Amino acid sequence: MARYTRLTEPIALITLNNPPVNALSSAVRSGIVDSVSQALKDDQVKAVVFCGENRMFSGGADIKEFSGSMSGPPLVRMIHSIEASEKLMVAAIEGVALGGGLELALGCHYRVANTKARLGLPEVTLGFLPGAGGTQRLPRLTGITAALELITTGRQISAQEALQLGIVDQVTEGNAVQAAMELALSVIGQPLNPRRLSLRPPVWSADVDSVCEVALARVKQHSRGAMAPVACVQAVRAAAMLPYSKGMEKERQLMDTLFRSSQARALQYAFFAQRNAGKWSLPNGARWNNTKARDVQRVGVIGLGTMGRGIAVSLVKAGLSVVALESDAKQLESGKKAVTAMLQRDAQRRGVGSPLHLLTFALSFHQLKDVDLVIEAVFEDMNLKKRVFSDLCKVLRAGTLICTNTSGLNVDELAKVTDRQHLVVGMHFFAPAHVMKLLEVVYGSRSSPEAVAVAMALGKRIQKVCVAVGNCPGFVGNRMLKLYMDQSLYLLEEGATPEQVDQALEEFGFAMGIFKVADLSGLDVGWRVRKASGLIGPDIDPVNPSRWRLGQRYCPLPDMLCQQGRFGQKTGRGWYLYNSPGSKEAKPDPEILNFLEDYRLKYGITPQRISSQEVIERCAFSLANEGFRILEDGIAAGPEDIDVIYLFGYGWPRHRGGPMFYASQVGLSVVLEKMEHYHRIHPDVPSLEPSRLLRRLVAEGSPPIQQWRNHIKNLHSQL
């Protein structure tokens, strides 16, 4: 797990060997300790160079080990003895040096990095701090301000930036091991104490308190209740105030608290859930590792509205050739201007050449004849999409895939109008499509495994987090969102205000409360969908709209707002008031409070005091309860996929893992009890009834989330 090699006379090479990222597992740490001791015993060896197998230094501590009992040599002690060694230690960094990987390098006396290497301390993203001395050594190299920024964000930096910050001593375009050996040979014999970061005094300066306060305010604003960024600031502050040994004590105390926290468990779960999502499987047994995706080079994008523009930009940025089609010259021109500007801005920001040569703009379907795959992104209207699909079949080559960007329309119904149902899949992008990371890849009943594989591979290529999901109204994300929105609206009817609901959700950690999100997306969007689905029609009294539709409770509040022209941010008024149309700052609107009071009076509803706890329980548990139904229906392969969708598409706080993980943490029996309670009080809301799978998991002793897939399999085999 760590290979020891004697190089030229005075140098030994220690190669970390634990593919794919050379994580510092217990075996690797043991290997390093043994190899260092071998080098120390060999009188001929004057210097040691550390590197990683396959030109990858190290991705840090082995995250899998955190959930078990830790064994092997502790990282802190190992790095300390490397730094304290009387022989010269040099890190040769290629690929990445992250977390414990970088901390190991910081324990070395010199660091050399290849130009393409990336360095960082991302522990904060896993709910930790750099607990192997990183919070004490890094500030002693870079100063407090840079260390605070790097450690509280977990940002990865280039070798060049690391050189500027003093984190590495040399950057090489060539082989870092070779460069590290040359450096070692040139400094052998020089005193090592000045190179031992732990011997440096605290990095105190007169403005330390104010710098740390600013950092604390920033992390509190961004972290939405996450503990780790706050602990990172406290640990770095210690490096400014205390000698190294005392700073290390502080680091350890803070780390102990974080290590035991449910937030750290949630963040590590999220790390693996995200990577698991790429390992898709379909109910028919097709999987990511038994299905080949053919190559896609040229993609057609139909419709250059908001979604089509973002999709085209994502594709071009990934180096794909794109034919972007619009139905009339005016729309094409405005789409072209927008896409071009977005791409040019991006190229400028990244300091790369403009990729506009990859783009062709078209008005005729014939220009799509030689594309490998089409993404239709026209307006969310089934008939319009069907027309586009059948027109496409007249020009496309036989094997070309047709993907629809829809947020919930029936993929099977669309596929039926084509001559290639097996090559039709949904690709549900999230707005703005060039920014949002999530992509739901929707397989219909006839979609072939190859079509799913192609869509998933394309999504990965354009750097999306892709989740394969089955076909049902709203798929996974929006199907669950509907129930979450319903509960939020019922809470308004029962006595809450939009800001009260939003505040509870934001304190829970959501990026934005649901009413602010609704204002941002536009209330008219859902209004149109409700009209199209027959929930609003000529038989509904616009003045006293019914609160009972299609056999269950219905909240007409958003329709009533739309009737008043309150469409959200775009009209300057929605659930909140804005300074002007398009402005983003949401302010409570007294008119809304009066409107809600009148509404309750009109319908004889006695307002209740709604606690934040009730807001969270009704919203978060409803999401999870529907998630269980989605699992029962086989629409998502596992709870991790649902959580990834909520983390990347709906602003669910990462330090709470996702709605399914949250339910598992709160305790499934608690969730069941609460759902039973709310369903008893609101029997007119069928979705509050606990799902069968939730009941079953509780009956089976509430197994850990990692085992749910087996229980779901058993459930399916008994159906």
Ligand X SMILES: C/C=C(\C)C(=O)SCCNC(=O)CCNC(=O)[C@H](O)C(C)(C)COP(=O)(O)OP(=O)(O)OC[C@H]1O[C@@H](n2cnc3c(N)ncnc32)[C@H](O)[C@@H]1OP(=O)(O)O
Catalytic residue among 53, 83, 94, 123: 123
Q: Does 459 bind ligand X (CB under 6 A)?
A: no
Contact stretch for ligand X (CB under 6 A) within 17-25, 223-231, 528-536, 583-591:
17-25
The binding track of 254-273 with respect to ligand X, each residue x by CB under 6 A or -, is ------------------x-
**Residue 477 β-bridge partners:** none
Q: Does 639 bind ligand X (CB under 6 A)?
A: no
- Tell me if residue 709 falls in helix, strand or coil: helix
Beta strands in 109-177 (DSSP E): 110-114, 118-120, 157-158, 170-172
Cβ proximity to ligand X: between 132 and 409 the closer is: 132
Q: What is the phi/psi pair of residue 667, to 5°? A: 115, 125
Distance of CA 225 to the CA centre of its chain: 17
Q: In the annotation, is 123 catalytic? A: yes
Report the helix count and the strand count for the chain, using DSSP H and E: 29, 19
Nearest C-alpha neighbor of 508 from the set 404, 658, 286, 391: 658
Cβ proximity to ligand X: between 99 and 310 the closer is: 99
- Tell me if residue 373 falls in helix, strand or coil: strand
CA distance to 346, 347, 353, 424, 564, per residue, from 350 (Å): 6, 5, 9, 35, 44
For the CB of residue 381, give the shortest distance to ligand X in the complex, in Å: 38
The binding track of 130-149 with respect to ligand X, each residue x by CB under 6 A or -, is -xx-----------------
For the CB of residue 23, give the shortest distance to ligand X in the complex, in Å: 4
What's the rounded Cα separation, in Å, for the pair 50 and 200? 23
The binding track of 156-175 with respect to ligand X, each residue x by CB under 6 A or -, is --------------------
Q: Does 127 bind ligand X (CB under 6 A)?
A: no
Q: Does 440 bind ligand X (CB under 6 A)?
A: no
58, two tokens: 């190290």
Q: Does 99 bind ligand X (CB under 6 A)?
A: yes
Size of the site for ligand X (CB under 6 A): 23
Contact stretch for ligand X (CB under 6 A) within 122-130, 325-333, 452-460, 469-477:
122-130
In this structure, are strands 548-549 and 552-553 parallel, antiparallel, or unpaired?
antiparallel
Contact stretch for ligand X (CB under 6 A) within 104-112, 126-134, 228-236, 377-385:
126-134
For the CB of residue 63, give the shortest distance to ligand X in the complex, in Å: 4
Cβ proximity to ligand X: between 339 and 644 the closer is: 644
What's the rounded Cα separation, in Å, for the pair 398 and 396? 6
Q: Does 98 bind ligand X (CB under 6 A)?
A: yes
One of 57, 128, 288, 678 touching ligand X (CB under 6 A): 128
Q: Does 232 bind ligand X (CB under 6 A)?
A: no
Q: In the annotation, is 103 catalytic? A: yes
Residue 541 neighbours by CB distance under 10 Å: 8
Cβ proximity to ligand X: between 100 and 474 the closer is: 100
CA dihedral 453, 454, 456, 460 (to 10 degrees): 130
CA distance to 17, 39, 71, 276, 518, per residue, from 3 (Å): 7, 12, 20, 30, 56
DSSP string, 410-471: -HHHHHTTSS-GGGEEEEEE-SSTTT--EEEEEE-SS--HHHHHHHHHHHHHTT-EEEEEE-
One of 83, 94, 123, 640 touching ligand X (CB under 6 A): 123
> 309, exposed or middle or buried, with CB in 10 Å at 0-12, 13-18, 19+?
buried
Contact stretch for ligand X (CB under 6 A) within 127-135, 207-215, 363-371, 514-522:
127-135
Q: What is the phi/psi pair of residue 537, to 5°? A: -155, 180
One of 275, 387, 394, 531 touching ligand X (CB under 6 A): 275
Cβ proximity to ligand X: between 2 and 21 the closer is: 21
**Residue 324 β-bridge partners:** 301, 361
For the CB of residue 50, give the shortest distance to ligand X in the complex, in Å: 15
For the CB of residue 368, give the shortest distance to ligand X in the complex, in Å: 32
Cβ proximity to ligand X: between 103 and 502 the closer is: 103
Q: Does 20 bind ligand X (CB under 6 A)?
A: yes
Q: Does 359 bind ligand X (CB under 6 A)?
A: no
Q: Does 301 bind ligand X (CB under 6 A)?
A: no
Q: Does 61 bind ligand X (CB under 6 A)?
A: yes
Q: Are 140 and 197 in contact (CB under 8 A)?
A: yes
Catalytic residue among 53, 83, 94, 103: 103
Contact stretch for ligand X (CB under 6 A) within 91-99, 289-297, 472-480, 575-583:
91-99
Q: Does 68 bind ligand X (CB under 6 A)?
A: no
For the CB of residue 58, give the shortest distance to ligand X in the complex, in Å: 8
What's the rounded Cα separation, in Å, for the pair 474 and 649? 13
CA dihedral 199, 202, 205, 207 (to 10 degrees): 140
Cβ proximity to ligand X: between 75 and 78 the closer is: 75
For the CB of residue 256, give the shortest distance to ligand X in the complex, in Å: 11
- Tell me if residue 6 falls in helix, strand or coil: strand
What's the rounded Cα separation, in Å, for the pair 141 and 323? 50
Q: Does 122 bind ligand X (CB under 6 A)?
A: yes
Q: For the segment 21-50, give every residue that binds ligand X (CB under 6 A).
A: 21, 23
Which residues here bind ligand X, judged by CB under 6 A? 20-21, 23, 59-64, 75, 96, 98-100, 103, 122-123, 126, 128, 131-132, 272, 275
Task: Supply the residues annotated as catalytic.
Answer: 103, 123
